[in-house]
Amino acid sequence: MRFETKYECSIITPLFMWSANPQQVELRAPSFKGEIRFWWRALNGNLEINDMKKEEARLFGSSDEVIGRSKLCLRIPAKQIRTIKYSPVPHWEDKKPNKEPFKISAAEWGQNFQVLLTSTGDKITHEKYEAIFEIALLLGGFGKRSRRGFGSIEITKRNEDEYDVLQHMNELLNLLDKINPGHFSITKDETRIVSQGFTGNYPYIKEIEIGKSYSDMHGLLKRIGHASSDYRCAYLGYAKKQDRFASPIYVSVIKYYEVYKPIITTLNTSFHPERLYHRKDPNNQQAFKGAIL
């Protein structure tokens, strides 16, 4: 059978995603599908690597001819995207008042677009695809600087029905349980969602936190930028020559009507200590998060 879900989405924060022409902003379906696979892996840290590979191939396809292509198809109908010039380091405006922060083209916030999610197979698997897609938009961003608040997207409608804005930890937990039931829980103080029974040396989800309200999106992006500079260390990601390590701290932005909140996902930090270039305390991760939350 064939199933289809139509999502109406809206850009929350400037999104830097380009076509083959680096001057042309484009919402690319392959990038969205890549994020779905990334978050599916992060959500299934209880699986052994071989089991994870088999299940990932079943859900998203494989080059193995026996398994074949993915049963999931994600399409973004073409739409004219308004662009703006925006700085990926907006905090420079405060730290270096005598230097104009560089600006590049980004998709402007507040724009709506559609995502069509179709699959062939059974209804249960399609519902899992829906949950993974919704989690990917909630926890992650898209394009350049997506781990620092940029490229955040919200769902406004699903199949013409209004999509409820997530307001409570229990609602987030219910969504996580649709993908990997029984492996997430809310802490007693109700400030975090933590994973249970996750192991392995790869970036699985350790905890998820939702921060305080900000009235201004620009102010929140500046706060994230300042924290990135103030607590910069290898445990927050680094790039030196050909050696790169993506930040295990994902900061996305969610919108509650007219206010904005950071949602921070901490992934397992999986690299050998000898590869550290900045010998700073890994507690910088906590200080970085605390400055935003």
Q: What pLDDT, on a 0 to 100 scale, did the predictor assign at position 25?
A: 86
pLDDT tens-digit readout, 244-286: 778 899 999 999 888 999 999 999 987 655 555 444 566 788 9
Cα 111 to the center of its chain, rounded Å:
19
Q: Global pTM?
A: 0.92
Residues counted in the chain: 293
Average pLDDT value over all residues in the chain? 89
Cα 120 to Cα 124: distance, rounded to the nearest angstrom: 11
Asked if 5 contacts 117 with a C-beta cutoff of 8 angstroms, the reply is yes
The distance in angstroms from the start CA to the end CA of the chain is: 44
Q: What pLDDT, on a 0 to 100 scale, did the predictor assign at position 152?
A: 97
The residue among 151, 140, 288, 139 whose CA lies nearest residue 228 is 288
Q: What pLDDT, on a 0 to 100 scale, did the predictor assign at position 102?
A: 81
Identify any residues that bridge with 112 across adjacent strands, giving them in sequence order.
10
Q: What pLDDT, on a 0 to 100 scale, did the predictor assign at position 118?
A: 97
Q: In b/e form, how buried is each residue of 12-32, taking b as 16+ CB within 10 angstroms?
A: bbbbbbbeeeeeebbbeeebb
Q: What pLDDT, on a 0 to 100 scale, did the predictor assign at position 110?
A: 95
Q: What pLDDT, on a 0 to 100 scale, did the predictor assign at position 64?
A: 67
Q: What pLDDT, on a 0 to 100 scale, did the predictor assign at position 250?
A: 97
> Residue ranges of the domains in the chain?
2-292
For residue 197, is it left (φ>0), alpha (ψ between -120 and 50) or beta? left
List, in order, residues 6 or more apart from 104 with CB less than 8 Å away.
16, 85, 86, 87, 88
Q: What pLDDT, on a 0 to 100 scale, did the predictor assign at position 44?
A: 95
The residue among 38, 42, 15, 14 whose CA lies nearest residue 28 is 15
Q: Write out the H or E segment, with its range, that includes residue 162.
A: strand 161-162
Per-residue pLDDT of the chain in tens (293 residues, 90 and over written 9): 999 999 999 999 999 998 777 778 889 999 999 999 999 999 999 999 899 989 999 898 877 665 668 889 999 998 889 999 999 998 887 765 555 668 898 999 999 999 999 999 899 999 999 999 999 999 999 999 999 999 999 999 999 999 988 878 999 999 999 999 999 999 999 899 999 999 878 889 999 999 999 999 999 999 999 999 899 887 787 777 667 778 899 999 999 888 999 999 999 987 655 555 444 566 788 999 999 99
Q: What pLDDT, on a 0 to 100 scale, did the predictor assign at position 281?
A: 60
Q: What pLDDT, on a 0 to 100 scale, did the predictor assign at position 39?
A: 97
Q: What pLDDT, on a 0 to 100 scale, did the predictor assign at position 94?
A: 74
Three-state DSSP class for residue 243: strand
